[in-house]
Amino acid sequence: MSWFLRDRRLADFAVRKTSELLKRHGYENNIVNTKGYDLVLGDGRKVEVKFDTVIYDSGNIACEWWSDKPSRTPGWVQYSDADIMVYMYDFDNAYVVDMQKLKEYVKANLDKLPSKPPYRGKGGSQAEVKLLPIEDVPQLRMKEFEEAFTRNAVLPPRERVRRSQP
């Protein structure tokens, strides 16, 4: 399986998991998977779901400012019109962030935030990813939603990830 397909499957799983966890906590929502957001809550707020392992390597949230810096193609921090970002750092835990505050914070601190080493994608594209330190996240968080994401979440059998036997 290609890395792109694997990452796409993980992203789709993260969206489904986020949808179900929010529903269990009383937040009705629909999966829409459109550019800029993944879910729409019953009250109309839009939710962007991110799943990323950068947090383990660096202790930072990865914020894509340019999806291709040389051609000035905006990354999701710039183009997303979501109200809320759910940044999953494993399948049972997430930071839930006010997306507008995140955008304002990254833009105001663009020159101060460290960058992740450039990713050179297919066709030579080059993303610019800013690293938002975890200690800067508290003022951006939406704690009302975070109760839906706990380490003790119990998944229905159809969502369990099974490891293949050797």
Q: What confidence tens digit (pLDDT) does each residue in 2-17 have?
A: 555 567 788 899 999 9
In this prediction, residue 86 carries a pLDDT of 93
In this prediction, residue 108 carries a pLDDT of 94
**Spatial distance between the Cα atoms of 112 and 66, rounded to a whole number of angstroms:** 16
CB 59 within 8 A of CB 134: yes
Amino acid at 47: V
**Spatial distance between the Cα atoms of 11 and 67, rounded to a whole number of angstroms:** 17
Domain 3-159 has CATH 3.30.70: no
In this prediction, residue 69 carries a pLDDT of 86
- Lowest average pLDDT, out of 70-84, 101-115, 117-131, goes to 117-131
What average pLDDT does the segment 29-35 reach?
Answer: 91
pLDDT at 45 over 50: yes
Report CA 160 to chain centroid distance, whole Å. 20
> What confidence tens digit (pLDDT) does each residue in 137-149 have?
877 888 788 888 7
* Domain boundary assignment for the chain: 3-159
Residue written as token pair 């998944």? 155
Q: Which helix (H) or strand (E) holds 4?
A: helix 3-24
Amino acid at 12: D
162: confidence class by pLDDT, cuts 50, 70, 90: very low
CB 84 within 8 A of CB 45: yes
Give the chain's radius of gyration (CA, Å). Answer: 16
**Spatial distance between the Cα atoms of 66 and 121, rounded to a whole number of angstroms:** 13
In this prediction, residue 10 carries a pLDDT of 82
In this prediction, residue 150 carries a pLDDT of 66
What average pLDDT does the segment 11-27 reach?
Answer: 91
Amino acid at 59: G
